[in-house]
Structure 1
Amino acid sequence: MDTLTQLYYYTVQLYVLHEKVHFSTAKLLEDAVRSEGSEPATIALLDGNIHVGLSNENLTRVAETMDSVKVSRRDIAYALNKGLVGGTTVAATMFLAHMAGIRVFATGGIGGVHRGAEETFDISADLIELMQTPVTVVCAGVKSILDIPKTLQFLETHSVNCIVYGEKNAFPGFFTKETTEKGQFSTTDLHDVVQHMEMSRKLGLKAGTILACPIPDKLAGDGKRIEEAIVTALKEAK
């Protein structure tokens, strides 16, 4: 295992795009993985079975089924028993990937501690899975609508590795390249990441790892405007 690329698998979460865009988006993601010399293994639930890697036919079903469900770890048994078409959350994907011997997957952003969690106790199951499952999650950070500082504090408390992929140790903000928060450390050398994963495995550490990759400059949003929009939307939602 000399490069992270050799371990690079991913799940595609198909919850918010229009159904006609789903399949083409999923194929673009799979092609991106193949272009780096790896084999994609899209994870989904179909007809009472767990699928790790999908044929074009099954990928189309997941992409275009209008009554597909979002499956977290607690929902896996129910979805399988009912034969539902399910796309997996970070928590469920980590669990299933670990069962299949996959040690790395990529997603957009992880769930976390919700704003106002001190009153609602709304904390994503993704964080609980990161505490207990040794899988590396490549992502653009914590979803920006969440409380990023509290999420990172939670991860630190529970010994979850949090690596920033970049020259500057500034944790990315999903839509933005950076926040005022820091990761455990930063690196631009994937061998550092692999060595960290391997040492954690040898030590028998059970927590997962986040490899936070900042969004490219040309796609990055204005952090101030995004935060203002989120705050306004949350106020209106109340």
Structure 2
Amino acid sequence: MMTKLHNQELERRLSLYQVFLSLYERHGNLLDEILQLENLSQSSVNGVKPLYVQGVVDDSSVYVITNLCEHQTQTLQQAQHLWTIGRDRSNGICTQEPHLSRCHAAIQYVENQGFYLVDFNSTNGSFVNGEPVYQPVKLKDGDRIRLASLTFDFFLNQKRRVLPELSTNLLTQILPPVANQQTTALNHISVSQECKCEKTEDTVQIELDYISVGRGESGKHNVIQQKKSEILERFFSSTNNG
């Protein structure tokens, strides 16, 4: 009885495998879509950031920015404009994805042409938007790349713009209230003070110079009693501590 049930289970699994194989042969992108859905679900559950590679062409400088290396965003420059990807630590982009080959593929920049994905005859293959890569494939902004079971997005940046400065009215709306108050206070009160303290046996001489307090008349020395008291307290406190 047990043998019969075991044989039935094997036949059921074999039938399911044949159905899946037939379905995959007719729909080559099915596995890619399943892998992408799995990556998205895992990212949302585990809080993992989406993986990406960004190719940057900035004047005469060419580099890539990626978080494939230990999930940390890094800027990678390479003199030959060739960034290899694989499990081996000698790769410019090293990731321990178990299904990757030791040197699986590379992203290459060709002068005046763009970035390309190159597969190094990897065991589990390379794909761009679900299509297998047999020869270098030129990459476009937003392409979906899969190396074995590792899936990431490719972004392309070919232009840098310097934006104009924001208006003062807009800046005052953006600044937090505390900063606004401090800025207003600094605009209305400019205090330049010089305090010289000399201690003799019987005499303590304090010279206070306040210049341009608030919007007072120029040339007049206005002494604020509160400020004077604070300075005296600090002076006697330091004297007692000494």
Q: Give TM-score, length-normalised by structure 2.
A: 0.22
Higher helix content, 1 or 2 = 1
User: Which structure ranks higher in relative contact order (CA pairs < 8 Å, sequence separation ≥ 6)?
Assistant: 1
> Is the radius of gyration larger for structure 1 or structure 2?
2
